Amino acid sequence: MSMAKACIDVQCPIQFVVDLLGNKWSILLLRELFGGDRRTHELLAALPGVSTKTLTQRLRELEAHGLVERRVYAEVPPRVEYSLTPKGQQLQPVMAALHQVGSQWLAQDPCFCVLNTPPWLIER
């Protein structure tokens, strides 16, 4: 989202947050940081499928918006740790609500994928 878009178009608070976090990895990244400080390779491991490029991009965005803090230690080999800022922690109710609904839906969903489809119904 461009800053301009945020200011001109967005009057709705919900849209504001969605524009900020409505991409493939941001929420999952934050979820991970709610579990505590994380080093880069820990985040890479926790988010299967993410590339280093994308991870860094997301982290930089979140940092720019003040949700995440990046600490660099002058060591060899390099060590970098990411953590939630107080502003980032304001997302806690959102994460809790998402977790709550997600749990309900996972439990109650019939799930029509092949894993739950009887063999005689699978087309070949």
Partner DNA sequence: CCGGATCCAAGAGGATACTG
Partner DNA sequence: CAGTATCCTCTTGGATCCGG
**Chain positions contacting a second copy, by CB under 8 A:** 2-4, 6-10, 12-18, 22-24, 27-28, 31, 48, 87, 90-91, 93-106, 111-116
- Tokens found for residue 45: 């491991």
Do residues 88 and 61 make contact, with C-beta atoms less than 8 angstroms apart? no
The residue within the footprint of DNA, chosen from 3, 8, 77, 113 (CB under 7 A), is 77
Within 34-63, the residues that bind DNA by CB under 7 A are: 39-41, 49-54, 56-60
Q: Is 70 in the site for DNA (CB under 7 A)?
A: yes
Q: Is 85 in the site for DNA (CB under 7 A)?
A: no
Contacted by 88, from a second copy, DNA, none: CB < 5 to 8 Å by type: none
Please give the backbone phi and psi of residue 23, each rounded to the nearest 5 degrees, phi first: -130, -175
Contacted by 40, from a second copy, DNA, none: CB < 5 to 8 Å by type: DNA
Task: Please state the closest distance from residue 44 (CB atom) to DNA, in A.
Answer: 7
DSSP letter for 69, please. Answer: E
Do residues 21 and 27 make contact, with C-beta atoms less than 8 angstroms apart? yes
Task: Please state the closest distance from residue 116 (CB atom) to a second copy, in A.
Answer: 7
Name 49's Cβ contacts closer than 8 Å, sequence gap at least 6.
Answer: none
| Pairwise CA distance, residues 40 & 42, whole Å | 5
Amino acid letter, residue 65: H
With respect to a second copy, which residue has the nearer C-beta, 10 or 80? Answer: 10
